[in-house]
Structure 1
Amino acid sequence: MEDFTYTISEAQKGERIDKALAMLEADWSRSQIQIWLKDGGVLVNGETVKTNYKVRPDDVIHVTVPDAEPLDIEAEDLNLEIVYEDADVLVVNKPRGMVVHPAPGHTSGTLVNGLMHQVTDLSGINGIMRPGIVHRIDKDTSGLLMVAKNDKAHVSLVDQLVKKTVTRKYIALVHGHIPHDKGTIDAPIGRDARDRQSMTVVDSGKHAVTHFRVLERFGNFTLIECRLETGRTHQIRVHMKYIGYPLAGDPKYGPKKTIEFDGQALHAAVIGFIHPRTEEYMEYEAPLPQVFTDLIEEMKDTVDSTEK
């Protein structure tokens, strides 16, 4: 364990304690500080306080940072495609069918298992089950993810996601013939009251915005590029269903068994962000996986044969 002691200044008066400590120690996230508060690892003037405590001038705050828990998740050689890597961040191209992080009862074959084999350091802010993970994509969605190799990089990347400055572009094949060339879906997303494992557009949901443009049309299907302004769970899948063009192959939000494709036809093609250390903008692109390319070619052949 490691101990830290701080005295609150007049300038920090009235700040929530988690925010005040995060300002004092850039490597600490507010979510991690909140855990320490609940576990009794943060004392104010020798007393425990709630997470919403507002600090006062001359408050003496003592923080006991626990030793990192050893990972009990096995490193596995999954031959991950790492597109870029340096001392702070890496960009990985996740294959379709791979879960991003372990969960109770499912601790092998995930992206995290593979990262632990191929990467020396990963940030610890998200705990032992999600080292380095700052955002995620669904199991059957392929494509690019940012990964943090230390806590400072983790804080920076999460902050960019919150501020909506990360570039995230996806390629999707959807049902229907979209007549207009581009559009914006601005509709709040929340948990579906009738199915707690699904998301839906609901007035009480979180703000969600998806921009899209048409790349190609194949009869009753349309290939589009989606740019995320926000990053809600299942956002593209929910938004496209909401406007009447659900993703092809989507087992949760689309019509059943309309194409031979295991899971939704969705690929995270572009990721762009400011490097946490150099402050330079970096952008990477991953081509469509072969199975997605084959699907598009099949769509073209079907349209061509119909038109003859």
Structure 2
Amino acid sequence: MKKLTFQVKNQKGRIDKVIAENFTDYSRSQVQHWLKEELVTANGKIVKANYKVANMDEIEITLPTPEVLDIQAENIPLEIVYEDEDVAVINKPQGMVVHPATSHTSGTLVNALMYHIKDLSTINDVVRPGIVHRIDKDTSGLLMIAKNDKAHESLAEQLKNHTSERKYIALVHGVIPHEKGTIEAPIARHKTDRKKQAVIEGGKPAITHFTVLERFGEYTLVELKLETGRTHQIRVHMNYIGHAVAGDPIYAPRKTLKGHGQFLHAKILGFTHPTTGERMTFEVDEPQIFKETLESLRKMQ
């Protein structure tokens, strides 16, 4: 039985709100269900949703046994950039969800992985075999996949310790005047719109570095390097500084370019091989629609 634990640090308010801010993969309604089912304790005592947290409270959630989904292997085209006995590197296309959920049990990257790759790690249960990290449905690019649990633990540790390398390119609204910058702003689930993340005091630490690659009339092409991996981190941070990712259906102010979601691409991925210790770096081109859009903007200069 899985448990989630954390210690309250400089957070205030109802426990359901605080838990939802700490574990952004779960909705507040889900958290309230746990509380109703008496699955949440504060300092060892069962609490209700209206419990007001205190600094240094020890919170523990006993997660109910998840619904078993019938996940099937599917012969979906998949670009495998690299594969050996321990790891694989995938170039995920725009529009593909990484792993199944009750609302979509087919057509995901996991369904494709189960068909194309014989062995996958089991650490993240049957719904997310092999999945070490995610990128959004409408973000394209590189993902590392673990083929066994030992490799999974190594890759996850590298992500946690910020020793893996993840670089993205994005086309953002507006012209960024300076060449480089760092956005250090905490991220948590939006207080009123549960589909969104936002920069919120007391949220999880999040750091994004960016470098300007090219400027256009109303857009800037940037390279972004993640130190942390919060949900929607690049999209939230760029919107926070007034330069939302172009085409972003949630955070951008308007859709001004033809495309299939945000112009955000996971271009470079680097990590230390779990078995050999070799440093490995991979790079893939952006999708065709991204390339065509950049060419169109250059011609308009």
**What TM-score, normalized by structure 2, do the two folds share?**
0.77
218, 221, 224: which one pairs with 1:220? 218
Q: Which residue of 2 aligns with 1:104?
A: 102
Alignment of structure 1 residues 1-308 onto 2, 5 Å: 72-303=70-301
> What is the distance in 2 between the residues matched to 1:79 and 1:175?
32
- 1: distance between equivalents of 2:235 and 2:197? 9
Take 2:69 and 2:155, find their aligned partners in 1: how far apart are those partners? 23
The answer for unaligned runs of 5 or more in structure 2 is 6-40, 45-66
State the partner residue of 2:20.
none
Q: CA deviation at 1:101?
A: 0.5
Q: How far apart are 1:70 and its partner, in Å? A: 9.5
Deviation at 1:262, TM superposition (A): 2.2
Deviations 1:199-225 (A, max 9, x none): 010111111000000010011100000
**One-letter identity of the residue aligned with 1:222:** T
Q: Secondary structure at the match of 2:196?
A: strand
Aligned AA (1:181): E
Q: Distance in 2 between matches of 1:121 and 1:254?
A: 39
Deviation at 1:298, TM superposition (A): 1.4
| Alpha carbons 2:69, 2:105 under 8 Å: kept | no
Looking at structure 2, the residues matched to 250 and 195 of structure 1 have their Cα atoms a distance apart, in angstroms, of 16
Aligned-residue offset at 1:302: 2.3
Q: How many angstroms apart in 1 are the aligned matches of 2:255 and 2:69? A: 40
| Aligned-partner Cα distance in 2 for 1:192–1:156 | 32
Q: Distance in 2 between matches of 1:242 and 1:197?
A: 17
Supply the distance in 2 between the matched residues of 1:154 and 1:120 (Cα, whole angstroms).
Answer: 15
Cα deviations by residue, 1:123-145 (Å, 9 ceiling, x for unpaired): 01101110000100000000000
Q: CA offsets per residue over residues 35-54 of structure 1, 9 Å max, x none?
A: xxxxxxxxxxxxxxx9x99x
| 2:47 corresponding residue in structure 1 | none
Letter in 1 for 2:261: G
Describe the shift of the 1:203–1:71 C-alpha distance in structure 2 as closer, same or farther (beyond 3 A): closer
TM-score (norm 1): 0.75
Instruction: Identify if the C-alpha distance between structure 1 residues 301 and 219 changes in structure 2 by more than 3 Å, giving closer, same or farther.
Output: same
What is the one-letter code of the residue matched to 1:257? K
CA distance in 1, matches of 2:286, 2:257: 18
CA–CA separation in structure 1 for the residues paired with 2:132 and 2:77: 21
Q: Secondary structure at the match of 2:258?
A: coil
Rounded to whole Å, the distance in 2 between the matches of 1:257 and 1:287 is: 23
Compared CA separation, residues 98 and 115, structure 1 to 2 (3 A): same
Aligned length: 239
Assess if the C-alpha contact under 8 Å between 2:70 and 2:105 holds in 1: no
Structure 1 stretches of 5 or more lacking a match?
1-17, 19-49, 54-68, 304-308
Checking the alignment, whether the CA contact within 8 Å between 2:95 and 2:137 is kept in structure 1 is yes
| 2:94 match: secondary structure | coil
Ranges of 4+ aligned residues in structure 1 off by more than 2 Å? 69-72
- Flag the 1:156–1:298 CA change in 2: closer, same or farther, 3 A: same
Q: Which residue of 2 aligns with 1:65?
A: none
SS at match of 1:161: helix
What is the Cα-based RMSD across aligned positions, in Å?
A: 1.8
Identical residues among aligned pairs (%) = 63
Q: Single out whichever of 167-176 and 292-301 deviates more from structure 2.
A: 292-301
